[in-house]
């Protein structure tokens, strides 16, 4: 089929298409993708249940935030209209804007963040170098999956301030990967929702433990 399409292209277009090597995509299971999509739009992953991944990676803004410096917890509105909530001011703006997320599932993306602080590194036990070093549990299928562990820990992005909720308090005390730590608490919130439980049962197996990883 692909060759048929190429054969039908005019010659200059054919030469253009041949400049690019085929893209290697990670394989996906549609049931997992759907579950991930639901979680991406669900503010339950944020300490105060107000900010979802899509608040900053907004499809209407090309999966970015439309701001010079982002606003997570303590912000109201979306896109360029998003502003600090006078009733719940954030401590600071996010020091960077949210990059678009298109195509990051292609295998060629082995480095994440503007400054590359999360990177595939086969010399590490978990295969990935992260800002958390070895405290971060192993077992990620990709750098993209590992990256998703971080926004929920940032007070100004998703966790909120330490006086406001148990997740922010766990982060503040440095309890991240242990039982009762921030990731564990978020996973427990998700597991407590029957619709999520049923979807996780379908992809992980009946009754399998739901962990943030």
Q: Which two tokens stand for residue 88?
A: 């719940």
User: Are the beta carbons of 97 and 121 closer than 8 angstroms?
Assistant: no
Asked if residue 161 binds ligand HEC (CB under 6 A), the reply is no
Residues of this chain, 21-50, that bind ligand HEC according to CB under 6 A:
45
4: enclosing H helix or E strand: helix 2-8
- The least CB distance from residue 13 to ligand HEC, in Å, is 29
- The least CB distance from residue 73 to ligand HEC, in Å, is 7
87-to-7, 73, 158 alpha-carbon distances in Å: 61, 12, 17
- The least CB distance from residue 141 to ligand HEC, in Å, is 14
- The least CB distance from residue 72 to ligand HEC, in Å, is 3
Which one of 43, 84, 110, 113 is in contact with ligand HEC (CB under 6 A)? 113
Asked if residue 83 binds ligand HEC (CB under 6 A), the reply is no
Residues 204 and 37: their CA atoms lie apart, in Å, by 16
Q: Which is nearer to ligand HEC, 2 or 24 (CB)?
A: 24
Which one of 67, 112, 168, 171 is in contact with ligand HEC (CB under 6 A)? 112
Neighbour count for residue 19 (Cβ, 10 Å): 6
Residues 73 and 68: their CA atoms lie apart, in Å, by 16
Please say whether the dihedral angle defined by the alpha carbons of residues 101, 45, 96 and 172, taken in this order, is positive or negative: negative
Neighbour count for residue 71 (Cβ, 10 Å): 23
Part of the chain binding ligand HEC (CB under 6 A), chosen from 80-88, 133-141, 143-151, 193-201: 143-151
Interacting residue ranges for ligand HEC, rule: CB under 6 A: 45, 51, 53, 55-57, 70, 72, 94, 96-99, 101, 104, 112-115, 144, 147-148, 151-152, 157-158
């Amino acid at each position: 089929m692909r060759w048929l399409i190429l054969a039908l292209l005019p010659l200059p277009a054919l030469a253009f298409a041949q400049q690019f090597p085929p893209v290697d995509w990670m394989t996906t299971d549609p049931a997992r993708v759907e579950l991930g999509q639901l979680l991406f739009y669900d503010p339950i992953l944020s300490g105060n249940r107000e900010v979802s991944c899509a608040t900053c990676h907004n499809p209407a803004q090309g999966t970015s935030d439309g701001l010079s410096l982002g606003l997570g917890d303590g912000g109201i509105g979306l896109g360029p209209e998003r502003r600090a909530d006078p009733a719940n001011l954030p401590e600071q703006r996010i020091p960077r804007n949210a990059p678009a997320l298109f195509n990051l599932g292609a295998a060629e993306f082995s480095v994440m963040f503007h400054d590359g602080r999360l990177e595939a590194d086969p010399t590490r036990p978990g295969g990935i170098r992260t800002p958390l070093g070895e405290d971060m549990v192993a077992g990620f299928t990709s750098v993209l999956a590992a990256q998703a562990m971080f926004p929920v820990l940032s007070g100004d992005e998703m966790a909120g301030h330490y006086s406001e909720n148990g997740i922010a308090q766990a982060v503040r005390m440095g309890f991240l990967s242990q039982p009762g730590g921030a990731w564990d608490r978020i996973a427990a919130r998700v597991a407590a929702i029957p619709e999520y439980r049923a979807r996780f049962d379908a992809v992980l197996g009946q009754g399998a433990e739901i962990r943030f990883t």
